[in-house]
Structure 1
Amino acid sequence: MNDNHTQQHSGTMDQIDRIVTLWQRARPELDFSSTEAIGRVVRLEYFITRRVLQDLARYDLNVGEFDVLAALRRHPPSFQLSPNQLQSMVLVSSGALTNRINRLESRGLVTRAQADHDRRGVIVTLTEEGFNVVEEAVKHHLAAESELAAALTEEEQQQFSALLKKILLTVED
């Protein structure tokens, strides 16, 4: 797809159209069609992150801390996981996870205790306050996602999701 096709389809140029147009002038022998899709995903990620950070700021959380609380919240009824389980869900180094847990524990949103079944193991548990914070934060997070996706019909959202999933399945471990 070239920039003329994209412009005709949407009726106006976005930042990616402008970038691709400049590259096509500078290097007409190269194919920039993948830049149109990938560039838009990267640009959209910027706006999504900015919106998510705005929403999380009201709870004094960053994305990493929210991820830990959300991972614990998704594991009822005990709302607890080992650091290894958490690490596989939030995809960060053990040091980064320890820092997140420390910050959340100092705020009273999680507790850390010795695991019953393993004296060397630790278990991280969502506190009542942590539960309440993540419950509210998830509501705002979902509302923000809905607002951002509202430019697409339900059918378009499903198509978009399927196409993104197709790409992700080729690059995920």
Structure 2
Amino acid sequence: MRPAEERVAAGDQDSAAAITAQWRRERPDLDLEPMALFAGLARAYQLLDGRIDRMVARHGITRGMFDVLAALRRAGAPHRLTPTQLSAALLLSGAGMTSRLDRLEEAGLAVRLPEPADRRSILIGLTRKGLALVDRMLPELIGIQRAALGIGTAKARDLTALLWVLGEHLAAEGD
């Protein structure tokens, strides 16, 4: 019996495992490993996502706000990007970015600054408070992710490498 069937037989009606087991029962002629893989990835993401959202909320911000702070922090000193650069880094529309920036500015975590090279443009920068917050939150985020792995460092590295290969293949395939 495969892991999905074992889980369903044991009474675990997790949707990903149940769906895969049902398809294996109904269509044993098909290789369902790709479906099982992507269902497993989706389930892992969903389970981890809630943990991260709760951690971020404990710090008084939303996940979207944290994503902006993290993008600015990753940019390096002086921790400034244009709204277009931020939108591209977060795959977010201009309207969605404006809302996040308004909330970050109200909280004193980010600031809109004039772009010295182009008076028609602005830069978004981290404030000291924003920098301190993202630097406090990052180790906590990594801790949540590390605890969720449960597979050890070597296997985590192998899985990461395989997922990078998968991502590159999907990117090369296009739409």
Q: Is the shorter-chain TM-score for this pair beyond 0.5, marking a shared fold?
A: yes
The amino acid across from 1:171 in the alignment is: L
Residue aligning to 1:159: 158
Residue aligning to 1:84: 84
Distance in 2 of aligned mates of 1:170 and 1:109? 38
Distance in 2 of aligned mates of 1:17 and 1:58? 32
Residue aligning to 1:118: 118
Distance in 2 of aligned mates of 1:76 and 1:25? 52
Tell me how large the CA RMSD over aligned residues is: 1.9
Distance in 1 of aligned mates of 2:147 and 2:116? 43
Q: What's the offset of the Cα at 1:7?
A: 6.1
Q: What's the offset of the Cα at 1:76?
A: 2.9
TM-score (norm 1): 0.87
The amino acid across from 1:91 in the alignment is: L
TM-score (norm 2): 0.86
The alignment-based identity, stated in percent, is 28
Structure 2 segments unaligned to the other structure (5+ residues): none
Secondary structure of residue in 2 paired with 1:120: coil
Distance in 1 of aligned mates of 2:146 and 2:86? 27
Q: What's the offset of the Cα at 1:75?
A: 2.5
Task: Write the mapping of 1:119-134 to structure 2, written as runs, cut at 5 A.
Answer: 119-134=119-134
